[in-house]
Chains A and B, each alone.
Chain A
């Protein structure tokens, strides 16, 4: 067994070690990330999706909102994907080019997913880490606030946002961030509670490192694993939530569209002989999710402080 003196000496050494290594943290992580083949494949997959989202519209001969009134309402008979007609992905049941719409949907959904998740991760991680680390009454108060936020009827939050600020993507991001960060905060706080009692934190405390510094330098890096995983779970969740929020009149409005919207339209019509309406948006959704997963997994491995 180590004596208390040994422990504090060890802590000092560890803390120093951390400072030295800390400088090369990001360079180190990048190197390890680049060595991870799956992660690189994930990046490429995401870049391809993003490229399609950004430039897909330019390839299509049709605009995302152009309705061909001759084939409108006859998607099942005349709307199947056709290279010759320029409808690479077929048409939707409104007579619009699905290729252009999937490109637009992917673009909007990527934005919504990434920004919404970023807001939720930032707010949730900081809030949760502070609450868990400080503990006591502060923790109790902060977590009861989370309880309230998790329970208030979120539809009214969204409706009020809409009424106060009107329709815009910014309001959509605010609404989505608002909905998703409390759950993130709970997870981060739970993890912080266990981290707090680990030796290296106790050691840092013993050497008088200020609380904020401990949170940012020691707690948060050790949370990254779970945060990254939860973030990759949050992205698809947020993308699908968006289609529900649009239902309330916030955010993406027809004739603009999003992947969530396209998928729910596809799911509604899948029985009626227009399976491509579900397959293409679903395909891009899935590709994006795999991309995020591999990148997330790679990031987790690369940033894991224990592997350093």
Chain B
């Protein structure tokens, strides 16, 4: 297994390089640049800006310099738009914020979702099942851009219990609404996948045998059924964790958390090339790590799995 992990980490290098090349080419092919604006800049001013940020160089040179900077100095360059800050600084500030409420939301979604899904499957077609399914569909049609204003309306404006936004260094009161708004839909999806997967596992022979032998239901579930039933949930969680980070833009915009999600969209809209590359690489690294963790967990759950 160690060898496998090591091999995967080695393969990560060409993967990230491919990611850099593709993203670089796409960014530069898209219309408009970081300094394209409604009040057009005079040609000379634009030329100075391009020279300062190296945009006057051929794209291969720009790419080479970028990779060199990242690999040798771990320097992701200056932001083209947020001129007082470097990409390193922006990520160092925004990512912990997103990670903080993102992780909480993630754990909440997994724990509640899995529990709800298991209960619904074990008690299929009982009221518990209907309630669980009802909750999960309800949560799914309440996207975060609807959830967020509803939460603020209730908890800030009417009840006055929670601040309507801001981060304040991660104070718990500021985390509650972002976590709920983010976790709800994912929780619902996890519950649905878990339920269906559990239903399927419960029909497998060795589970039927275990039940027939008179083992109590909770023991059957926990010892034999839960692990194999988790596989589709795990597969779902890999890409989902990453999309929680990139998809946190709504949360960041609405609750002013200062997280990285907003920069993911802003950087693209502003054509802030350096910031965009920085965030893309961050997402790439997270994707690779999470999918690796998921693959390792597969093998742990089902030792028979061969890649």
Contact = CB atoms under 8 A, between A and B. Distances in A.
Query: Do A and B come together as binding partners?
Result: yes
Interface of A is mostly: helix
Contact of A140 (B138, B231, B307): B307
Nearest to A131: B307
A36 to B, nearest CB: 11
A226 B196 contact: yes
Contact of A151 (B14, B133, B240, B283): B283
B307 A156 contact: no
Interface string A202-219: 000000000000000000
B31 interface: yes
Interface of B is mostly: helix
A150 interface: yes
A194 B231 contact: yes
A50 interface: no
Contacts of A197: 302, 304-306
A285 B236 CA distance: 24
Given A153-B27, A197-B306, A236-B141, A229 B193 contact: yes
Interface string B41-74: 0000000000000000000000000000000000
Contacts of B294: 186, 190
A187 B14 CA distance: 24
Nearest to A156: B26
Given A153-B27, A183-B239, A304-B200, A147 B287 contact: yes
B298 interface: yes
B197 interface: yes
A144 interface: yes
Interface stretch (A17-25, A73-81, A111-119, A262-270): A262-270
Nearest to A150: B287
Given A156-B27, A236-B141, A136 B149 contact: no
Given A135-B306, A153-B26, A194 B153 contact: no
B26 A186 contact: no
A148 interface: yes
Nearest to A230: B193
Given A147-B287, A152-B26, A232-B192, A187 B304 contact: no
A147 B15 contact: yes
Contacts of B193: 226, 229-230, 233
A135 B307 contact: yes
Interface string A256-275: 00000001100110110000
A293 interface: yes
Interface residues of A, number: 58
Contact of A153 (B23, B145, B189, B298): B23
Interface stretch (A91-99, A157-165, A170-178): A157-165
A49 to B, nearest CB: 13
A229 B133 CA distance: 12
B86 interface: no
Nearest to B138: A286
A155 B291 contact: no
A101 interface: no
B183 interface: no
B140 A152 contact: no
A271 B149 CA distance: 9
Contacts of A240: 143
B291 A263 contact: no
Interface string B130-159: 000100011011010110011001000000
What are the nearest 7 A-B pairs in CB distance? A190-B235, A197-B304, A151-B284, A155-B268, A183-B239, A187-B235, A229-B196
Given A147-B291, A187-B236, A196-B306, 8 more contacts: A148-B19, A186-B236, A190-B231, A191-B232, A191-B235, A263-B146, A285-B141, A307-B203
24 contacts: A146-B291, A150-B239, A153-B264, A155-B268, A156-B29, A160-B29, A183-B236, A186-B291, A187-B232, A187-B236, A193-B306, A193-B307, A194-B228, A196-B306, A226-B196, A226-B200, A232-B192, A270-B150, A271-B153, A286-B137, A290-B137, A293-B133, A300-B196, A304-B203
